[in-house]
Amino acid sequence: MATVLEREGLDAGQAAIKRAFDLVVSAIGLVLSGWLILLAWLAASWDTRSNGFFVQRRVGKDGRLFRVVKIKTMRPSRELSTTVTRSGDPRITPLGRFFRKAKIDELPQLWNVLLGDMSFVGPRPDVPGFADRLTGEERRLLSIRPGITGPATLKYRNEEELLAAAEDPEAYNREVIWPDKVRINLDYIQHWSLGRDLRYIWQTIAGSKSSV
């Protein structure tokens, strides 16, 4: 049985528990935070002189693309076109920096969780070019929904600072950070439990790092 789970990811019972938790908590979260999302959207619209929602295609469960929704924290730049964001990125506005630090920019993803595009905990949804190119055993990452937070996200809370210190941020992300995230997330799937998900959510709220 362990061999099957290691190949396919969560079993039916685990997946049902995880989805039920996501469905109930995301619905409650949207009701409680709807006013804050609206205010943040209005502020971001004024700050960026554009729609305050940032919508981007990401790779989801089974490799299907979906549109993730966040509060916009950046202005476009003619000089920078990379999707890799590092500390001090000139595209991030002062208000956007606050939204990122307070995690307010992540709140609209509650809608993605409610729809079933995402989960509260799981691998972060990446843009095409990373998760959709996984091969072999690593494709188990696509057996679950991507998450708002997770052990890899917590370990790399300071990812933007690490990339800022790297000589080639894109290469460092591709060759060092991404493979480590894959390893951490594969371990997360293999040892999944609702208790672990609750712990990761609490660590995210409390601002602590994962011990992985």
DSSP 3-state of 78? coil
Q: Which amino acid would we find at residue 31?
A: V
CB burial of residue 205 (10 Å; 0-12, 13-18, 19+) = exposed
Count Cα atoms within 13 angstroms, Cβ side, for 27. Answer: 6
All residues at 6 or more sequence positions from 170 whose CB lies less than 8 Å from its CB, including other chains:
82, 84
How far apart are alpha carbons 41 and 108 in whole angstroms? 9
Between residues 109 and 210, which one has the greater pLDDT? 109
Q: What is the reported pTM?
A: 0.85
Separation CA 24–CA 20 (nearest Å)? 6
What value does the mean pLDDT of the chain take? 88
Integer Cα distance of 124 and 13 in angstroms: 23
For 36-71, what is each residue's pLDDT tens digit? 999 999 999 999 999 999 999 999 999 999 999 999
pLDDT of residue 6: 43
Going from N- to C-terminal start, the domains of the chain cover: 5-206
Q: Is the pLDDT of residue 91 over 90?
A: no
Please state the rounded mean pLDDT for residues 176-195: 95
Residue 32 main-chain phi, psi, to 5 deg:
-75, -30
3-state secondary structure of 74: strand
53-59 and 147-149 beta bridge pairing: unpaired
Number of H helices, E strands in the chain: 9, 4
Please check whether residue 18 is in contact with residue 119, taking contact to mean a CB–CB distance below 8 angstroms. Answer: yes
pLDDT digits (tens, 9 = 90+) for 148-172: 999 999 999 888 788 888 888 889 9
